[in-house]
Amino acid sequence: MENTPIAAVIAAAGMSRRMGEFKQLLPWGQSTVIASVVANLAAAGASPILCVVGHRGDAVAGALAGLPAQVLYNSDYAEIEMLRSYQIGVRSLCADPAMDAPGTLLALGDQPHIPVDVLQRIIKEAKLTPDQLVIPSHQMRRGHPIYLPRRLWPNLLALGADQSLRDLLNRPGEAVAYVEVDTDAIRRDMDYWVDYQALLAETTDDRQPTTCESA
Q: How many domains does the chain have?
A: 1
Enumerate residues 6+ apart whose C-beta is below 8 A from 75.
54
Cα 101 to Cα 168: distance, rounded to the nearest angstrom: 20
pLDDT at 162: 87
pTM score of the predicted model: 0.92
* In a domain? residue 131: yes
Q: How many CB atoms lie within 10 A of CB 197?
A: 11
* In a domain? residue 80: yes
pLDDT at 206: 55
* In a domain? residue 213: no
Give per-residue pLDDT as tens, 156-181: 999 998 899 999 999 888 989 999 99
Q: Which helix (H) or strand (E) holds 200?
A: helix 193-207
pLDDT at 209: 39
Cα 167 to Cα 96: distance, rounded to the nearest angstrom: 26
* In a domain? residue 215: no
pLDDT at 214: 34
Whichever domain contains 195, its CATH number is: 3.90.550.10
Q: Quick one: average pLDDT of 20-49?
A: 96
User: Cis (ω within 30 of 0) for the bond into 209?
Assistant: no
* In a domain? residue 87: yes
Cα 86 to Cα 168: distance, rounded to the nearest angstrom: 13
* In a domain? residue 23: yes
Range with the lowest mean pLDDT among 30-34, 51-55, 136-140, 204-208?
204-208
Domain interval for residue 77: 6-206
Cα 171 to Cα 174: distance, rounded to the nearest angstrom: 6
Q: Quick one: average pLDDT of 90-115?
A: 95
* In a domain? residue 189: yes
* In a domain? residue 140: yes
Q: Quick one: average pLDDT of 30-48?
A: 97
